Structure 1
Amino acid sequence: MTRGKDLLDRQLEHWQSTFVANPEMYGTDPSASGVYAIDLFRREGLTDVLELGAGQGRDTLAFLRAGFNVTALDHASDALAELDQAAMASGHGTQLTTTAHDVRQTLPVPDTSVDAVYSHMLFNMALTTPEFDHLAAEVARVLRPGGLHVYTVRHTGDAHYGAGTPHGDDMYENGGFIVHFFNRALVDRLTLGCTLLDVTEFEEGGLPRRLWRITLRRREAPQ
């Protein structure tokens, strides 16, 4: 059983090569969770969004078109380079900052500097539960009080949960991709500094994949 840093490093290399081989593997339309986040952030009057695991940028570009300023992080530098080009071509390049980043490390933005944090299945990467604890604490650190965190995860009701090669800590590998599946206890555990507002179940893709969309608000003061 492979654990820890070597496991995720191998996955990051796999994602990088996948993005290069399939430059539009997820299409160009925003995900359903991206559409939800845009509507929510607009209603809240938010401006600055930090996106974790932007990938090929289908949600990033939708955020830009909606008028948000976006800091997009991803480990795959090739995907970020293509995202920069797409943003410039669409006339939104000045709204976008991209940074190649490993989410196991400190997020490269200052304390209380963003209105919202968003990610679509980034939290399903081959991270250990303690690494998720660190990432959740980092999200709370960079959010302004009252800011929102929206993320999606495949959960333990998904068809691939328990299938394929096990790697411990509710991680299973199928088709070369390792997914850390969430149960409700892990959702509740990762609310550090935030209030859980909503957990909505939805389906996506051909399996279909079964996911939760999770919405949290940064508390005004520590409790």
Structure 2
Amino acid sequence: MRKTTLAFLITTLLALASPAQAITLSLEPASSTVNPGNSVALDLTVSGLGDHTAPSLGAFDVDIGYDPAKLNFTGYALGTLLGDVSLGEAFDTSTGDSTPPGLIDLAELSLLEPDSINCFFCTGPYLDDIQPSSFVLATLDFIVTGGLAPGQSTQVDIAVQALGDGFGNSLTADTLNPSVLRRPAAPPPPSGVPEPATLMLLGIGMAWLRRFSHA
């Protein structure tokens, strides 16, 4: 309940703030070749921020959509560049996978101040100092199921609920890059090996040749 309330507050506050800068969210790798039973780790990355300068990312709320008939979601891990959750530098307000599965909510709120100039507590570390222009927000883990048939592909998508900088201003994600997982098509039978019917005809032909050779 506490996580749900915090996630709602993040979304509401960021929606009211004015847009500040367009950024890109991606799932990486963008494409992979997989087979049933394979473990797949996808990084949710952000790019287009300032490189150790404003704007930095102070909060995000993102939904990850996938096909539960083809993938099993096994867990996620947040990055540390909004602050270390275990040290109380950020709140993990994610609600995880939906019921029924297929939509994963990832949300985090940083408690770090954006910079040393506009700070209140001024204890650091500061978001502008620790964040490059591109970094990993979270890593999601899946297992490929037999529901992904040979020659088929499945896509993992991103939907943004809210993004905000270190001051609470809204950030706009102008590009969302999904990840596509493909299972190779079943290989065709080897062309150089005769099929059973061909072998039978060859056998009959050889028998007739032997018969006439003894006649």
Instruction: Mark yes or no: TM-score above 0.5.
Output: no
TM-score by length of 2: 0.29
- Considering Cα pairs closer than 8 Å and 6+ residues apart, tell me whether 1 or 2 has the greater RCO: 2
More strand by share: 2
TM-score by length of 1: 0.28
